[in-house]
């Protein structure tokens, strides 16, 4: 243990290459190696809420493996995200695959233990069901949250096959529970199919506005980022990223792929213009490695997590200045 920020953790052996050893996220220290964590990367290997192709339970391990390539300096933001905040890998939450309600309660309880200590959570999924207990934990600390949701799908549906909690319903349930700031929620990248136009009406009722994937070919990235910032406002923000927001050519390893998505270049161009948002938590979900090719999806998810944790650290720096 040390009061100094621990950056390289088990990588203290200088001649150990990045492709060797235990793969914590970005080769960061484990939570047991520090006295306090400002931000914890947490794996949640749960996919019992998926409605199409399973396999996202293996996502956290896949993302960690492809995070070995990540480096400690962010050239665009000109910051060292692992130096300016204490970031750790908190391992995986232990959740069983056989009961959704029990799993949700377990995730919420484990997340709350971190949040009450002043630790922000960036979760690696797992399917999108996990966003609900993470929102519960974050809202308990910060109150109703603005949600920035990157996804091909709305995820504000109701009951499916008798289940009220599944990966297509987390934001509907969150709105019903009063976890969301209904005037400040934004979908980005939507293009997935719906069964009836009434689903769009339901989506508006639970607080979301939509920026469709087509906007990325018709508008500048700056204008999209400006719209997002205006919608989210200055309050606490939770960022939820389904990897299927990317086109299947960019992220084939996911459970419900949808064509005509955005590219990693477009995605990061928008993300990098969101500096200053008060981001209090987030997730990167729906990575299903069985459908991945050459690690394309794992690599995209790892770099997405780096972009998000950098923004989370910059939010803390802005708060300290103010």
SS3 255: coil
- The candidate with the shortest Cα–Cα distance to 130, out of 275, 265, 240, 257, is 240
Q: Which two tokens stand for residue 51?
A: 């409605």
Give the CA radius of gyration of the chain: 18
Residue 57 lies in a domain: yes
Q: Could you tell me if residue 154 is inside a domain?
A: yes
Alpha-carbon distance 215 to 222, whole Å? 12
- Predicted confidence at residue 285, as pLDDT, reads 98
pLDDT (tens digit, 9 = 90+) per residue, 166-218? 999 999 999 999 999 999 999 999 998 999 999 999 999 999 999 999 999 99
Domain-embedded: residue 3: no
Query: Please, what is the average pLDDT of the chain?
Result: 94
Is the confidence at residue 322, as pLDDT, over 60? Answer: no
Question: What does the pLDDT look like over 106-117, one tens digit per residue?
Answer: 999 999 999 999
Backbone angles phi, psi at 189, to 5 degrees: 95, 10
Specify if 2 maps to a domain.
no
Which residues, in sequence order, are bridge partners of residue 239?
148, 282
Residue for token digits 């934990």?
137
Cis peptide bond prior to 126, omega within 30° of 0: yes
Domain presence at residue 4: no
Distance CA 174, CA 149 (A): 13
> Is beta strand 39-44 parallel, antiparallel or unpaired with respect to 237-242?
unpaired
Over residues 107-151, the pLDDT tens digits come to: 999 999 999 999 999 999 999 999 999 999 999 999 999 999 999
Tell how strand 185-190 and strand 208-212 pair up. Answer: parallel
- Within a domain: residue 224? yes
Question: Nearest-CA neighbor of 8 among 84, 83, 98?
Answer: 83
Kindly state the DSSP code that residue 31 receives in the 8-state scheme.
Answer: G
**What is the arithmetic mean of pLDDT over 5-27?**
72
Q: How far apart are CA 238 and CA 96, in angstroms?
A: 25
Q: What percent of the chain has pLDDT over 70?
A: 94
* SS3 annotation, 132-157: HHHHHHHHHHHCCEEEEEECCCCCCC
Which pLDDT belongs to residue 15?
A: 72
3-state secondary structure of 102: helix
Q: What CA–CA distance (Å, rounded) separates 227 from 271? A: 12
Its domain, for residue 81, covers 9-321
Residue 21: predicted pLDDT: 87
Count Cα atoms within 13 angstroms, Cβ side, for 174: 38
Token output for 223: 């204008």
Confidence of residue 8 (pLDDT cuts 50, 70, 90): very low
pLDDT on residue 7? 55
Band (320; pLDDT cuts 50, 70, 90): low
**Burial of 294: CB neighbours in 10 Å, binned 0-12, 13-18, 19+:** exposed
Confidence grade of residue 319 (pLDDT, cut at 50, 70, 90): low
pLDDT confidence of residue 3? 42
Phi and psi at residue 214, to the nearest 5°: -60, -25
Whichever domain contains 128, its CATH number is 3.40.800.10
Sequence-distant (≥ 6) Cβ neighbours of residue 197 within 8 angstroms: none
Count of domains observed in the chain:
1
**Tens digits of residue pLDDT in 226-285:** 999 999 999 999 999 999 999 999 999 999 999 999 999 999 999 999 999 999 999 999
Among candidates 255, 207, 208, which has minimal Cα distance to 58? 255
Q: Is residue 94 part of a domain?
A: yes
CB 252 within 8 A of CB 292: yes
**Residue 315 pLDDT:** 80
The pLDDT tens digits of the residues spanning 63-81 come to 999 999 999 999 999 999 9
Residue 1 in domain: no
Quote the pLDDT of residue 316. Answer: 72
Residues in the chain: 322
């Amino acid at each position: 243990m040390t009061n100094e920020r621990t950056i390289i953790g088990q990588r203290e052996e200088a001649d150990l290459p990045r492709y060797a050893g235990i793969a914590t996220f970005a080769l960061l220290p484990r939570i047991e190696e520090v006295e306090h964590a400002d931000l914890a990367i947490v794996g949640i290997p749960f996919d019992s809420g998926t409605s199409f192709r399973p396999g996202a339970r293996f996502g956290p391990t896949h993302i960690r493996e492809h995070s070995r390539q990540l480096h400690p300096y962010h050239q665009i933001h000109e910051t060292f995200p692992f130096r300016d905040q204490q970031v750790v890998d908190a391992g995986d939450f232990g959740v069983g695959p056989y009961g959704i309600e029990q799993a949700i309660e377990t995730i919420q309880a484990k997340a709350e233990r971190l949040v009450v200590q002043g630790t922000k959570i960036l979760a690696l999924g797992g399917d999108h069901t996990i966003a609900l207990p993470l929102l519960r934990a974050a809202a308990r600390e910060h109150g109703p949250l603005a949600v920035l949701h990157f996804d091909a799908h709305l995820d504000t549906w109701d009951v499916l096959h008798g289940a009220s909690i599944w990966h297509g319903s987390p934001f509907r349930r969150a709105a019903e529970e009063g976890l969301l700031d209904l005037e400040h929620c934004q979908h980005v990248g939507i293009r997935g199919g719906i069964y009836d136009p009434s689903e769009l009406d339901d989506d508006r009722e639970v607080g979301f506005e939509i920026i469709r994937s087509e906007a990325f070919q018709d508008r500048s990235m700056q204008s999209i980022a400006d719209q997002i910032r205006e919608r989210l406002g200055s309050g606490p923000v939770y960022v939820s990223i389904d990897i299927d927001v990317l086109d299947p050519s960019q992220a084939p390893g996911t459970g419900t792929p949808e064509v005509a998505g955005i590219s990693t270049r477009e995605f990061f161009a928008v993300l990098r213009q969101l500096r200053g948002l008060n981001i209090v938590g987030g997730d990167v979900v729906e990575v299903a490695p069985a459908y991945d090719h050459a690690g394309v999806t794992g690599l995209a998810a790892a770099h997405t997590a780096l972009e998000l944790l950098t923004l989370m650290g910059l939010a803390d720096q802005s708060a300290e200045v103010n």
